């Protein structure tokens, strides 16, 4: 981005969540004036086909930045190969009390405990009505905070039914550390029930809409080998279309001495790089060879994106690195992936 370090200096002088709330509307305003092309270097074309979709390049925006889908078109115009919005829940909810997002600037990291704050699935769909994206759109779905895990499948079903026609793919988020008990859904029995229910409903929706939309599962980076094996068995049994690895971590490795390290929430950014890559490698070994993985977590430079592709990911997503590095990180990641593929050829 032209002058992004200057822009970042201004934004980083603000509270993290306030800066977020200011940036996205400003980005949409700039896009409406046709200024998106001035914001950054456009990434080169590097087409990828995955779960039946065509991506102009393999670098996407992870869920969480545009929770309500109000700025998806403007974000896509920066050169992303795909954009994922959400996490969205059936009913609007405010999320956890503020402050709930913290920068660990010297570590290129964030800690957040937002708690699925969003305006609800109906508002997300209204926001998307007037937007047109030049790339696939993913919609990330979750459960409301006050919905018990025993009834979680009902929330996910509501969201799946509502977003099905608009989404190019749907991500099932069971791995945020900021909704109490959510990660318990990664255990074998509840995960099998949830995914089985959603995949059965997908068959019905595919008949109604004349198209079967991919369903992906987003998992935590804090899984041990046994947890990875459980997820691999369930997703293979249920015939999920892909896995997104990974969400934020509850660990604090690499930032233990920081004054904010004890803040509850998920840690993202550079300290997550190796943990997310390790978890992705474990999943790649455990999953069927033809099941795509979307690598996410700790990508703050192009080489990190290339490492994920080399370790078996088909696509990657960025979020915290995008906040620290700006839109030029997109092109840097695409170019690093292109060079890595050429070397491996």
Nearest to 250 by CA among 225, 267, 237: 267
- The string of pLDDT tens digits covering residues 187-242 is 888 899 999 999 999 999 999 999 999 999 999 999 999 999 999 999 999 999 99
Nearest to 136 by CA among 39, 24, 214: 214
User: How is residue 103 written in tokens?
Assistant: 């920068």
Which residues lie across from 267 on neighbouring strands? 111, 249
Cα 326 from Cα 300, distance rounded (Å): 10
> According to the model, what pLDDT value does residue 184 have?
86
Burial-class residue 272 by CB neighbours within 10 Å (0-12, 13-18, 19+): buried
Cα 71 from Cα 77, distance rounded (Å): 10
- The string of pLDDT tens digits covering residues 172-192 is 999 888 788 888 888 888 899
Task: Please tell me which residue in 175, 176, 268, 336 is annotated as part of the active site.
Answer: 176
> According to the model, what pLDDT value does residue 279 have?
96
Do the Cβ atoms of 324 and 300 come closer than 8 Å?
Answer: yes
pLDDT above 60: residue 2: no
Nearest to 278 by CA among 298, 264, 292: 298
pLDDT above 70: residue 39: no
Residue 176 known to be catalytic: yes
Which residues lie across from 138 on neighbouring strands? 84, 169
Q: What percent of the chain stands above pLDDT 70?
A: 98
Instruction: Please compute the mean of the pLDDT values over residues 78-105 and round it to a whole number.
Output: 96
- 307 pLDDT band, cuts 50/70/90, is very high
pLDDT above 60: residue 34: yes
What is the rounded (10 degree) CA torsion for 320, 326, 332, 333?
30
> According to the model, what pLDDT value does residue 3 have?
73
- The one-character DSSP state at 128 is H
- Going from the N-terminus, what domains does the chain have, and what CATH number goes with each? 4-344 (3.20.20.70)
pLDDT above 70: residue 151: yes
Do the Cβ atoms of 276 and 224 come closer than 8 Å?
Answer: no
- The one-character DSSP state at 249 is B
- The string of pLDDT tens digits covering residues 313-336 is 999 999 999 999 999 999 999 999
pLDDT above 50: residue 1: no
The per-residue pLDDT of the chain, averaged, comes to 94
> According to the model, what pLDDT value does residue 344 have?
74
Instruction: Please compute the mean of the pLDDT values over residues 309-315 and round it to a whole number.
Output: 97
- The string of pLDDT tens digits covering residues 123-144 is 999 999 999 999 999 999 999 9
Instruction: Please compute the mean of the pLDDT values over residues 47-71 and round it to a whole number.
Output: 97
Do the Cβ atoms of 85 and 139 come closer than 8 Å?
Answer: yes
> According to the model, what pLDDT value does residue 345 have?
62
């Amino acid at each position: 981005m032209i002058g992004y370090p200057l822009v970042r200096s201004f934004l980083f002088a603000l509270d993290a969540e306030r800066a977020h709330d200011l940036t996205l509307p400003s980005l949409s305003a700039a896009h409406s004036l046709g200024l998106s092309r001035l914001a950054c270097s456009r990434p080169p074309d590097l087409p990828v086909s995955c779960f039946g979709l065509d991506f102009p390049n393999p670098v996407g925006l992870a869920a969480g930045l545009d929770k309500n889908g109000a700025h998806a078109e403007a974000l896509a115009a920066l050169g992303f190969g795909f954009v994922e919005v959400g996490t969205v829940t059936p009913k609007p909810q405010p999320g956890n009390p503020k402050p709930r997002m913290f920068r660990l600037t010297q570590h290129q990291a964030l800690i957040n405990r937002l708690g699925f704050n969003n305006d609800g699935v109906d508002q997300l769909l209204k926001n998307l009505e007037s937007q047109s994206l030049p790339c696939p759109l993913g919609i990330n779905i979750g459960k409301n905070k006050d919905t018990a895990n025993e009834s979680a499948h009902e929330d996910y079903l509501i969201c799946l039914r509502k977003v099905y026609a608009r989404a190019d793919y749907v991500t099932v988020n069971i791995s945020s550390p900021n909704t109490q008990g959510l990660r318990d859904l990664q255990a074998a029995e509840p995960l099998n029930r949830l995914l089985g229910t959603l995949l059965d409903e997908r068959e019905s929706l595919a008949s109604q809409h004349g198209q079967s939309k991919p369903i992906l599962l987003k998992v935590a980076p804090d899984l041990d080998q046994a947890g990875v094996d459980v997820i691999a068995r369930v997703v293979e049994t249920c015939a999920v279309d892909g896995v997104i690895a990974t969400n934020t971590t509850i660990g604090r490795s690499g930032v233990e001495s920081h004054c904010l390290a004890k803040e509850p929430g998920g840690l993202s950014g550079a300290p997550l790089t190796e943990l997310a890559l390790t978890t992705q490698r474990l999943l790649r070994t455990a999953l069927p060879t033809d099941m795509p993985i979307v690598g996410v977590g700790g990508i703050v430079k192009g080489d990190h994106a290339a490492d994920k592709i080399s370790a078996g990911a088909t696509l990657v997503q960025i979020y915290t690195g995008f906040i620290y590095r700006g839109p030029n990180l997109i092109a840097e990641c695409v170019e690093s992936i292109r060079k890595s593929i050429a070397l491996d050829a």
